[in-house]
Amino acid sequence: MRLFLVSLLLLPLLAASPAQAAAALPGGRPYYVVATAHLTPDNAYQNWGRLSWYTFSTSGTVSSRTWTWEQARRTEIPRTKTGTLAGSPNCTDRTAPFDKVLPCYVRTAHAYTDPPTEERTGTFSLSGDVLHITWNVSSGSWSEEWYVSTNSAGTLAKLEFKYNTKATHGFGYGSTSGFSTRRAMETVEQYSSTLYLRQWSWSNKTLTPPADLSKSVFQLPSYTQCDQDSWCLTYLQPSSSAACQKGGCPTYGGGTTPNITSIQYYLAMISNGDRRDTLWHFCSCLPMEQALKDNDPATDPYEPPCYTGNSHVKPLMQIIDDNGQFQGWVGIEASVYPYSAPPGEDVRDKDMFAVLRIADFL
């Protein structure tokens, strides 16, 4: 009888332990679009950018699907043609000053139209408002930390860069909306809040921080839907006080008699099945200079009268909130110089790398 009583007392101790408590998600949200970059003002030329989808699980694990661009790993085709035709069909001569956007097949950074180039898994933890991630890597260690906050509407979480073993800067936003949720360009065009472009950029061994907020307004209200394809927007910036000068455009640029300093902007969807978009821009005077060198403005390896030279390519990912609404982008600039450098110069000095966000929740 005594043995029976002892056995009954031991039963609670032998019972299965309760299931491990579910891990809290950062900002209470599982899906984040994240842009990170390594940008340093030196001559090591080790700059890179990563544009990622982070997925967090209540099991305490995190996975990443990422597109990567590295300055040290150059490609013979640094820009990819997207297949989206944008610009005005009435603008057909790149040798003449024009007030319309050139009809071009929009470009983006190399391989951004392809599947992700890198996948990682890891674990995460939260301590107050700080998110800590440890990635599983084959050698060394890789961890990152972010400050987590939520917008006033309670529909969007933000990751503010704190630390990264490999990256120097970054931006991220998350929600409960999956990565297949995106907004069409006609919806993006109607976005009413003011968006601000905040970016860290590198060129010619110089790291440039974000400009003052008053000078960082993204001119989305000036963009209009493309004539040919509905999934893109274009904008002709009438003039620029700093860009498009005679140093790069000796015949047509700022400071010359024509004094053409306008800028051609193209904003296009990459995939209708996920968040990928792209921003492409260049000075209007550059295709005019190129036409003089080609001596045949009607012939172009892409399509007349488009520009095929050096330009800014900025892969983007839409920021989508819990309600499935558009709230901006995070992005990377990976503009690798497509030509040989002049004698005595390093071609890598002419590359342009950046990490950016275009948002109103800053």
Instruction: Kindly report, residue by residue over 192-217, the tens digit of the pLDDT.
Output: 999 999 999 999 999 999 999 999 99
Q: 110 with 75: CB under 8 angstroms?
A: yes
How far, in Å, CA of 47 to CA of 260, rounded?
32
Q: 38 with 166: CB under 8 angstroms?
A: yes
Q: Does residue 274 form part of some domain?
A: yes
Strand, coil or helix: 56: strand
Global pTM reads 0.90
Contacts of 128 (CB under 8 A, 6+ apart): none
Amino acid at 5: L
% of the chain exceeding 70 in pLDDT: 87
pLDDT score, position 94: 52
CA 44 to chain centre: 23
Q: How many domains does the chain have?
A: 1
Structure tokens given for 12: 């609670």
Q: Does residue 10 form part of some domain?
A: no
Q: Does residue 15 form part of some domain?
A: no
Strand, coil or helix: 77: coil
Q: Which domain holds residue 209?
A: 21-359
* pLDDT, tens digit (0-9, with 9 covering 90-100), for 267-284: 999 999 999 999 999 998
